[in-house]
Structure 1
């Protein structure tokens, strides 16, 4: 590897961070400052210059994508590195899982090395089953997951009286822990908790964490209490810490991250603090606007120079905006801007609906960045339960789900499925001993016979086709069903991914299946396991929430709905307001060349105020184009105009006869363009450039109401209605 070449690519700030060897070093990395470049260079520096083995480093990220990018860059710089050497590079939960599987003595806790990861939905199902079985009194069942998490935090702190003695939540928490141990399963929370527990050395014990020398953390500002505890465990054994993050991008306080985390870490470890102030991404105008929302006061230096001013647009409502964006995106595409370098950000996921409808009708390719999990695809949820049973034949709940599913099971009741599962699973790790007789066993359906046979004897299954035929999945998917083609595509694609995973690791069933399910639980519950994520795709406009935009960048960014009540959302206190500002900062700084902000005169979301958000007014007018400063600060909302009209009516204000004569000539042109319902006895039909054709249903001196086909009734101020009377009425 040519380390000299890698070194030459770094600027002075980056070099200082890479070569720092303090016990702990915190790097405040501004947006677009080459954070991943520094992380990769640090790993290479430690390995090449300081002779630290990759195996003796732990690299912690918050997404599998971030971990994969670091590994890919590392391999490009050092082709000799192997996957085994970087097995401790991953998400916090992924690294904890690897340590528990390969390095830490989970047997001392009562688990075996082939334990499985229990997903949150499965844990919740188990909790409800225990409530029913033990006849527990539990309040607020719709908030059970949050209450159990709180019970765990209280228990970890050594307190008692989780629910104040009002119900059986403490009993449920204990039973749930015991049942998970009996089933040899850990939740995401258990992975972190048990890894920390096992890494904590007792006096006289040898080190349990395989002598990790360096802990390298990406996006450290997003750490919560459990993740900090995980870092503490390595630090307690003598490891050094190198952490990179940006306090201005703390946007997950609801997950436990805190704006003052840098201060906490600095004081806890007496850490050196460095910065990466140079932004390589955005033009000066965008950076100048971003500084208005920056909260930590650090320098934000750009090297790209000037570009286009920030565009501010006003739209009547979201539909008009979607039509405008359709035309604007087509213009950009003609100018050579690829669809996938254009992004639209919004505050709420529901805002994508109107964009999806309009883009679909107008042929604009788009992709909505929403975490659609495989659990939301019915056939894949059913397949997962089948795979869970094959990996763990003691999982009777999975067998019951597979059998009782009306869409893909064998059409029997849950009660009968429970009896069949109890009988069929006997001797496979279940609670009852095997029984060689009984009418229920004879009645076990063909699919379940295959499941039990596989669990007892195994089968030589190495690919999708063999698996598909062995379990006769065509029968379960029902070829006559309307969803058959999509279901089959989803199932085969999922199985292809599963066998590719196992073959790459040279694993066979059921061991490979258990590892795949653990990996899917931690990383693969998104579109990665669906057909559309496979292979090359056409370029698409990206649409996502501001939260989802974190870590990404695009040439052209449109942030829509910059109205109070959306951006920012209404918050209860100053902390919430500060986080809304940081979130807007994140959205602004995703743009490289072009940023456009828009707001609504007539917002169609409850609780959202008409008129531009104060965030727009916070941007200096010399950075903005599209609205003159006086219009940006004095624009009247539709509601205000209507209020003024109503007040004028109530006060009996009438135009003087002389004024009518004087203004008659000036109003003539407007009357030719604006229909008057009183001037014609026949139905008046009009055309609007956005809503199409409609009929006038109500009118007064100032307002006009039109009913459009497909859009219902819309109200307009006459002077700004842009309505055209259709001929022949």
Structure 2
């Protein structure tokens, strides 16, 4: 306790009633929670098994468990229930779900399972051939996150669609019960239903858990809020910890009003920051104070002023990338930073692409001499070249470069669909393995009327003929035109945009995938500017980068971090580069309401407060968008940062 500051000590020792702990970024929130648990057990003689701590991630629960065990005897620490919301509900339902008509051996469905089941249920309820799943999935998710019934769904301008979604939701509930299956949302909704339907069950758990703590309370959705309210209503000892300034998950159903209107008997603010320098915190404070809907807080640095914040506006996206990488190399040399001490953060995943391409090619001096390729890892999203729409295009390029690449061929031979069924593929792959001949060669024979003994359907044969004709056109095109022009031709010829849009119904996902395709074309255009550019070399550079075993052996875990602002929440790095700080990126083009702009400002606040020592802010005056070069303006939020803590530089 002596190592805690006065506000932290107050948070630890205030154990009765409804307590709101407003924990600013880097203020020692986890430290307070674990000391609070230890204080309840050691000083208040509270039974460890009557303490419940709910978190949002397994990582957070595991860290709390480990740190509690360092403060009290391990056996006592084991008895404290520290869990995610979903794991906690899973344990309750394994014991009690028979009351709701399920058995305790229920299966948990993932997102793909649910999509298939929703499609199956919806198809049985309509005769329409073209069925849009996305509105149905979004509506069902909305109902579940808020703990609502089908009748509570907000009405739209399409009464027929509204009625259909209600029917699907009702049929889905029946099907889930018939299959004895739950999804992740159901773990929460059914636990609340259980407590509300069977008061004796609720009473049992209220008696067991007399002291309840909830971490990251600003991220709770209505059903989690209801769960916490039910469990704590008997004894009223509910301590919620969070920071409304870091509420960035409205798109997931989180409601900031839960922390803003929490009926606290005691409110404690943790404003002492143990992470960042004073200049970094002054920037964060200056930005976030422009939000109206918040608890007033001002982060104060435990460290000194530190460096001023560098900010630059590059003429183009590539010049921004080059300037950031130049500064990374300089920091590594001058401050002896490891790669993993540094992070590049961005608002949208697709902004990682130009950095990935340049990092792969950048030479740097290691202990063993000069090495090409800065090691990096992408969080909160797949590697650019691991995304399905890019992997498909890469498979086309691979089969052009190497006709014997069977893996690539199998990936795209029926994508977009050409009528080549799995059964047809099984038949010809068995034959080509038996004959020990390349699959493409066997397909060409079939196109020429050979191998009539194989049991292939007319539709399958037509599909094979179509693909071989396309393949011949592709190889001719790539031999006669530039790589990027050839790829553009291929994308148009196979109607790739239609294929992608047919896979996903969300406009946002369609836009993202199509932007990635445009980025792939841009990548080839950039590559072509180098000497001796060839398709083989381009593919080699992308494939080597995605060889995880190769990277691990070569670099260990010392890798530069690339991630979105969202993914960076809860993390910290000595040096942080916030890139793409332009209007329509942050704040995002689709966040134009007052609430949306406030959430975007909170998102930038989260990003700024990841930095410990060095923070660099950058943007570009022109950036590719949908294949065109568009002019960009600096983010409005940047003008909220005091000029005296900024060092405006040239990107050079």
Quickly name the TM-score band, shorter chain normalised: 0.5 to 0.7
Cα deviation, residue 180, structure 1 = 1.0
User: Taking structure 1 as reference, are residues 534 and 148 closer, same or farther at Cα in structure 2, changes over 3 Å only?
Assistant: farther
Match of 1:584 in 2: 604
Change (3 A) 1:202 1:141: closer
| Structure 2 Cα separation of the partners of residues 160 and 555 of structure 1 | 47
Structure 2 match to 1:303: 302
TM-superposed CA distance for 1:148, in Å, is 2.3
SS, match of residue 207 in structure 1: helix
Contact conserved, 2:274 with 2:301, CA < 8 A, in 1?
Answer: yes
Mark the CA change 1:282 to 1:608 in structure 2 (over 3 Å): closer, same or farther. Answer: farther
Deviation at 1:610, TM superposition (A): 2.6
Q: 2:112 aligns with which of 80, 102, 121?
A: 121
Aligned-partner Cα distance in 1 for 2:227–2:2: 34
Which of residues 2, 6, 31 is equivalent to 1:8?
2
Alpha-carbon distance between aligned partners in 2 of 1:155 and 1:601, rounded to the nearest angstrom = 46
Give 2:93's aligned residue.
100
Report the Cα distance in structure 2 between the residues aligned to 1:600 and 1:234, rounded to whole angstroms. 50
Moved more, 226-235 or 326-335: 326-335
1:351 aligns with 2:366: no
* Residue 261 (1) aligns with residue 254 (2): no
Q: Secondary structure at the match of 2:592?
A: coil
- Residue in 2 aligned with 1:554? 573
Distance, in Å, in 2 between the alignment partners of 1:130 and 1:180 is 11
Shift of 1:575: 1.3
Partner SS for 1:539: coil
In the other structure, the counterpart of 1:80 is 74
Matched residue SS, 2:224:
helix
Aligned residue number for residue 631 of structure 1 = none
Alignment correspondent of 2:647: 625
How big is each residue's C-alpha offset from its partner over 1:443-493, in whole Å with a ceiling of 9 and x where there is no partner?
A: xxxxxxxxxxxxxxxxxxxxxxxxxxxxxxxxxxxxxxxxxxxxxxxxxxx
Q: Which consecutive residues of structure 1, in runs of 5 or more, have no partner in the other structure?
A: 1-6, 379-405, 415-529, 629-688, 691-729
Which residue is 2:249 aligned to? 252
Give, in whole Å, the separation in 2 of the partners of 1:533 and 1:257: 37
Distance in 2 (alpha carbons) for counterparts of 1:89 and 1:531: 35
Asked if structure 1 preserves the Cα contact closer than 8 Å seen for 2:377 and 2:560, the reply is yes
Tell whether the 8 Å contact from 1:348 to 1:545 is kept in structure 2 after alignment: yes
Number of the residue aligned with 1:221: 218
In 2, the alpha carbon distance for the partners of 1:342 and 1:122 equals 38
- Report if aligned partners of 1:161, 1:170 keep a CA contact under 8 Å in 2: no
1:608 Cα deviation after fit? 6.2
Partner SS, residue 13 of structure 1? helix
1:258 Cα offset (Å): 3.0
Q: Hey, what does 1:599 align to over in structure 2?
A: 619
Deviation at 1:44, TM superposition (A): 1.2
1:313 counterpart residue number: 312
Alpha-carbon displacement from aligned partner over 1:360-419 (angstroms, at most 9, x marks no partner):
11111111112459xx999xxxxxxxxxxxxxxxxxxxxxxxxxxx9xxx95489xxxxx
Distance in 1, Cα, partners of 2:607 & 2:93: 38
Q: CA deviation at 1:20?
A: 0.4
Larger RCO: 1 or 2 (CA < 8 Å, sep 6+): 2
SS in 2 for 1:293: helix
Distance 1:298 1:157, change over 3 A: farther
Match of 1:147 among 139, 146, 153: 139
Q: 8 Å contact 1:565–1:608 — kept in the other structure?
A: no
Superposition pairs of residues 279-290 of structure 1, within 5 angstroms: 279-290=273-284
Question: Match for 2:585 among 563, 566, 572?
Answer: 566
Aligned position for 2:492: none
TM-superposed deviation, 1:84: 5.4
Q: Does the 8 A contact of 2:349 with 2:381 survive in 1?
A: no
Residue deviations 1:574-598, cap 9 Å, x none?
1111111111111111111111001
Among candidates 175, 193, 196, match of residue 197 of structure 1: 193
**Is 2:171 the counterpart of 1:171?**
no
C-alpha displacement at 1:537, in angstroms?
Answer: 3.5
Q: Secondary structure at 1:195's aligned position in 2?
A: helix
Change (3 A) 1:609 1:347: farther
Deviation, structure 1 residue 626: 2.9
Which deviates more from structure 2 when the two are superposed, residues 320-329 or residues 57-66?
Answer: 320-329
Three-state SS of the structure 1 residue aligned to 2:583 is coil
Partner Cα separation in structure 1 for residue 638 and residue 167 of structure 2:
52
Q: For residue 156 of structure 1, what is the aligned residue in structure 2? A: 149
The alpha carbon displacement at 1:169 in A equals 2.3
Tell me, in whole angstroms, the C-alpha distance in 2 between the residues paired with 1:214 and 1:48: 14
| 2:143–2:153 CA contact under 8 A, matched in 1 | no
Asked if the contact 1:57–1:213 (Cα under 8 Å) also holds between the matched residues in 2, the reply is yes
SS in 2 for 1:604: strand
Equivalent residue of 1:564, what SS?
A: coil
State yes or no: 1:26 paired with 2:17. no
What are the ranges of 5 or more consecutive residues in structure 2 without an aligned counterpart?
A: 363-372, 389-416, 426-547
Q: Are the counterparts in 2 of residues 100 and 195 from structure 1 also a CA contact under 8 Å?
A: yes
Give the Cα separation in 1 of the matches to 2:104 and 2:79.
20
Q: Deviations over 1:531-588 (max 9, x none)?
A: 8999994211111111111111110010011121212223322111111111111111
Correspondence list, 1:607-622, <5 A: 609-622=631-644
Q: How far off is 1:10 after superposition?
A: 0.9
Distance 2:23 2:13 in 1: 16
Distance 2:631 2:47 in 1: 57
Moved more, 248-257 or 10-19: 248-257
**Per-residue deviation, residues 67-105 of structure 1 (Å, max 9, x unmatched):** 12111212233351478524x32221111112212xx42
1:90 and 2:83 matched: yes
1:272 aligned residue: 266
Q: Is the CA contact (8 Å cut-off) linking 2:17 and 2:265 kept in structure 1?
A: yes
Within 1, Cα distance between the matches of 2:233 and 2:592? Answer: 39
In structure 2, relative to structure 1, the CA distance for the partners of 1:611 and 1:41 (3 Å cut) is same
Q: In the aligned structure 1, how far is the partner of 2:221 from the partner of 2:154? A: 24
Count residues with an aligned counterpart: 475
CA distance in 2, matches of 1:149, 1:84: 34
- Secondary structure (helix, strand or coil) at the match of 1:265 reads coil
- What is the rounded CA distance, in whole Å, between the counterparts of 1:540 and 1:81 in structure 2? 38
SS of residue paired to 1:603: strand
**C-alpha deviation, 1:158, in angstroms:** 5.6
Structure possessing the higher radius of gyration over alpha carbons: 1
TM-score norm. by structure 1 comes to 0.60
Identify the residue that residue 241 of structure 1 maps to in structure 2.
238
1:365 matches 2:356: no
Instruction: Evaluate the alpha carbon distance shift between residue 533 and residue 575 of structure 1 in structure 2; reply closer, same or farther with a 3 A threshold.
Output: farther
Say if 2:58 and 2:83, in contact at 8 Å, map to a contact too. yes
Match of 1:131 among 118, 122, 133: 122
Decide whether the 8 Å contact of 2:41 with 2:48 is kept in 1. yes
- Structure 1 residue 204, shift from structure 2 partner: 6.5
Task: Tell me, in whole angstroms, the C-alpha distance in 2 between the residues paired with 1:186 and 1:249.
Answer: 31
CA 1:367–1:132 in structure 2 vs 1: closer, same or farther (change >3 Å)? same
> Which residue number in structure 2 is paired with residue 496 of structure 1?
none
User: What's the offset of the Cα at 1:627?
Assistant: 4.0
What SS class does the counterpart of residue 180 from structure 1 fall into?
A: helix
Counterpart contact for 2:195–2:202, Cα < 8 Å: no
Moved more, 333-342 or 288-297: 288-297
8 Å contact from structure 1 (residues 56, 213) kept in 2: yes
Alpha-carbon distance change, 411 to 78 in structure 1, aligned in 2, over 3 angstroms: farther
Residue 98 and residue 608 in structure 1: after superposition, are their counterparts in 2 closer, same or farther (change >3 A)? farther
After superposition, the Cα gap between the structure-2 partners of 1:26 and 1:151, relative to the gap in structure 1 and judged at 3 Å, is: closer
Which residue is 2:40 aligned to?
A: 46
